Amino acid sequence: MTGHSAGMPNGGVLDELRRKFSGRFGTAPVVGAYAPGRVEVLGNHTDYNEGFVLSAAIDRGTFFLAAPSGTSECRLVAGDVMEEVRFDAASPKPSDNHCWSNYVKGVFAGIAKRARPAHGFMGMFLGNIPLGSGLSSSAALSMSSGLALGGLYGAMVSAEDMARIGQAAEHEFAGVKCGLLDQISSLFGKAHRLVLTDFRSLDVDTVPLGDHACFLLCDTKVKHSLVASEYNERRASCEKAARFFAGVLDHPVTHLRDVSWAEWERHHAAMDPTAAKRSAHVIGENKRVSEGCRFLRNGDLKGFGALMFESHESSRVQFENSCEELDFVVETARRTRGVLGARLSGGGFGGSAVILADPADTGRIGKALAEAYSRRFGHPCETRVVVPSDGARLMPA
């Protein structure tokens, strides 16, 4: 995907985008929107098991500006490389050559079903989320374009429906079978708070992280092969475990969400060993999310951080979706003064670790992690501070 100016603060990105929009289209935008990226904090692989996740919208994101085109033609520009894609408003189709455009085309198709646009649009986007960093630049693009185009066409779309439009765009246009975590996190974020999502009801709440805590994201740059097949195996094992529990428990079980830790302890010895391990991770994660919310509401960051370490150990041992590089980062973080918690973030098998710390300590911690990683693997990991921030919103163009 494209559309980023990594390292530039949000205000600078918006100013640059306004200049580029007017220069390319010869007119000012009439509507604008912003959507942040996200980081997963606790609740790993629980979303498709209809469980609970704690995540955060972050202080980096994507801006989208738009104006009516006056014809049926839609003109879409990626503001960083100034590539342009044109298509007819009546027939948006996925592109093989400019894959970045598919996120916006898919969102436009979803908006069009509700608003039946009488004209096309001129649109341009630009953001500051580093690509491939595990911070979901794709959700930031789909949610910012969805809000802007919804505003342009007068579409009344709830936040939940907007999340589903973004998910459908990824499924049908981008070819990515994602869940709803990224879109919901981007839409419902709050400054200095974490987003708590129930993936059965899609009820969303926020819990306080506080002003004196933030996250340091440590990107290992590791991209392991066979991730799709590994993911499919984990999901199949979870479904197998749910079927087992449905046969032995005296209450309905459709997903691992319906199984308590006490029930797992009573029955796991009779299970397929792999399914038992995978389900232990998911059921344990749901328990940790519940406990984590209690710690946060009591202002106990140390207790919450301990759960992050437990979560990573479960990923390493039970779900087996970690890797040597992530394990090294988490163990180094555990021994580094000022670190409160650390774990892998996202699907696993590579990618990033997320580290909980006081903002005043992040410079020292980041340097220590990068130096230790370089000594072990021959090159430094990339670290950046991310702060829980407000979610997606319309804004003056």
Catalytic residues: 182
- Find all residues with CB under 8 Å of 146, minimum gap 6, and list them: 33, 107, 110, 111, 157, 162, 165, 166
Is 288 strand, coil or helix?
A: helix
- Find all residues with CB under 8 Å of 89, minimum gap 6, and list them: 72, 73, 74, 108, 112, 117, 119, 120, 121
Both structure tokens of 374: 């370089």
Residue 350 corresponds to which amino acid? G
- Find all residues with CB under 8 Å of 313, minimum gap 6, and list them: none
* H helices present in the chain, as ranges: 10-25, 101-115, 137-153, 159-169, 181-188, 227-248, 261-267, 273-297, 301-314, 324-334, 362-377
Both structure tokens of 230: 């590994």
Is 37 strand, coil or helix?
A: strand
d(CA 105, CA 109): 6
Number of H helices, E strands in the chain: 11, 12
d(CA 175, CA 91): 18
d(CA 259, CA 152): 45
Q: Which helix (H) or strand (E) holds 73?
A: strand 73-78
d(CA 162, CA 168): 10
What's CA 279's distance to the chain center, in Å? 23
